[in-house]
């Protein structure tokens, strides 16, 4: 599944001081457009414990990308926590595709839970309902959750959730229906479907606000945006809410670290969003961390691609971005 190349970047002094001895830039094409991109780019960091991943999306500025960088350094240089289970249930992610393709993806996944993307600018509620209903046909006894990526206002969210719940014959939960914590709290009071917070946790200055004001029934936790596995465990413990560990569209390096996070939780009530390697046309590992029978086992991902010659397009962009983010991380740590 590789067929890819990764390219060496210079290691910034701050990263070298923290045990990083190699940095590789990568670009992985996606099976279909997802989250507005067709190629997943990022970097891999190597240290004493193996590989970490730093792959913030391009809409993250250096300050926000600094937490992702902290996670990458941690993944490469710190031991992972002990695990409480030897396998983690995962969901299949259904992008904005037509109903027939959604049905096929759900049926082929062997997962018992599906997360269906909705509220995309290129789709409408009627199409979203058809997609959800098709997934229910493929998973008559499974769980279906939908993810709106903060696209709705409160009124739209209440109407859409009601219709999607009917199409699904019961939703497990709706993920981030609105952008603000206050809106999430309003929606939660108005619907009978549990509300999960994602962006209001991973992109918030205060990731615990949703729990404190009762704006969510559960939280979505992604290790990279929360500065790594250790910090994510702290957030989950402090929130006191059930957690779903999910991928930030990671390669197998990030998936391996996130699976360890899920396997280390005291309780795991929901399938995790860690089956996203299926959305890639390749991977940085010759043994990609793909679910088997709807489960993943906690293990570190291995990097099997490398090239010495720099890519004239990829490398300058990521070298500059890394330098800016290293500077932001240093400034944040001084303040």
Binding site, annotated residues for Mg(2+): 147, 175, 198
Instruction: Extract the tokens encoding 191.
Output: 């619907």
Q: Which residues are annotated as a binding site?
A: 147, 175, 198
Answer for the pair 23, 284: CB distance below 8 angstroms, yes or no.
no
Q: Which residues of 146-163 are buried (b: 16+ CB within 10 A; e: fewer)?
A: bbbbbbbebebbbebbee
Q: 22 pairs with which residues across the strands? A: 46
Q: Say which of 40, 70, 145, 222 is annotated catalytic.
A: 222
Give the chain's end-to-end CA distance (angstroms, integer). 43
Answer for the pair 321, 66: CB distance below 8 angstroms, yes or no: no
| Lookup: tokens for 329 | 């991380």
Clarify whether 117 is annotated catalytic.
yes
The answer to whether 173 and 143 are in contact (CB under 8 A) is no
The closest alpha carbon to 94, from 117, 124, 126, 122, belongs to 117
CA distance 201 to 213: 13
The residue written with tokens 């396998």 in the block is 87
Longest dimension (CA), the chain: 56
Q: Which residues pair with 273 in a beta bridge?
A: 246
Which 3 state secondary structure label does DSSP give 197?
strand
Scan for tokens 């990308």, then name that residue. Answer: 65
Strand runs labelled E in the chain? 6-9, 22-34, 37-47, 50-54, 88-89, 92-94, 113-117, 143-147, 173-175, 195-197, 218-221, 243-245, 295-296
Catalytic position from the list 40, 70, 103, 117:
117
Number of residues that this document lists for the chain: 335
Positions marked active-site: 117, 222
């Amino acid at each position: 599944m590789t067929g890819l190349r990764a390219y060496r970047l210079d290691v910034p002094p701050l990263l070298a001081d923290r045990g990083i001895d190699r940095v590789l830039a990568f670009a992985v094409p996606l099976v279909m457009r997802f989250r507005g991109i067709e190629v997943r780019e990022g970097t891999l960091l190597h240290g004493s414990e193996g590989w970490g991943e730093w792959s913030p999306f391009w809409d993250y500025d250096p300050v926000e990308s600094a937490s992702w960088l902290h996670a990458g350094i941690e993944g490469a240089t710190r031991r992972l926590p002990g695990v409480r289970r030897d396998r983690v249930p995962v969901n299949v992610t259904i992008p904005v595709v037509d109903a027939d393709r959604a049905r096929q993806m759900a049926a082929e996944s062997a997962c018992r839970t599906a997360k269906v993307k909705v509220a995309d600018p290129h789709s409408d509620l009627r199409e979203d309902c058809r997609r959800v209903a098709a997934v229910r046909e493929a998973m008559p006894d499974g769980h279906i959750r939908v993810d709106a990526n903060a696209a709705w206002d409160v009124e739209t969210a209440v109407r859409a959730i009601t219709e999607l719940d009917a199409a699904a014959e019961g939703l497990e939960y709706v993920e981030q229906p609105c952008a603000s914590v206050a809106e999430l709290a309003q929606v939660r009071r108005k619907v009978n479907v549990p509300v999960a917070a994602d962006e209001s946790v991973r992109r918030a200055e205060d990731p615990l606000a949703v729990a404190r004001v009762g704006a969510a029934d559960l939280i979505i936790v992604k290790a990279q945006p929360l500065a790594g596995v250790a910090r994510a465990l702290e957030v989950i413990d402090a929130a006191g809410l059930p957690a779903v560990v999910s991928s930030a569209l990671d390669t197998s390096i990030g998936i391996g670290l996130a699976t360890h996070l899920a396997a280390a939780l005291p309780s795991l009530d929901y399938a995790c969003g860690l089956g996203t390697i299926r959305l890639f046309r390749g991977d940085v590992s010759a043994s990609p961390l793909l679910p088997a029978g709807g489960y993943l086992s906690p293990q570190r991902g291995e990097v099997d691609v490398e090239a010495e010659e720099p890519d004239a397009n990829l490398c300058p962009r990521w070298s500059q971005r890394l330098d800016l983010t290293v500077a932001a991380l240093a400034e944040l740590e001084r303040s």
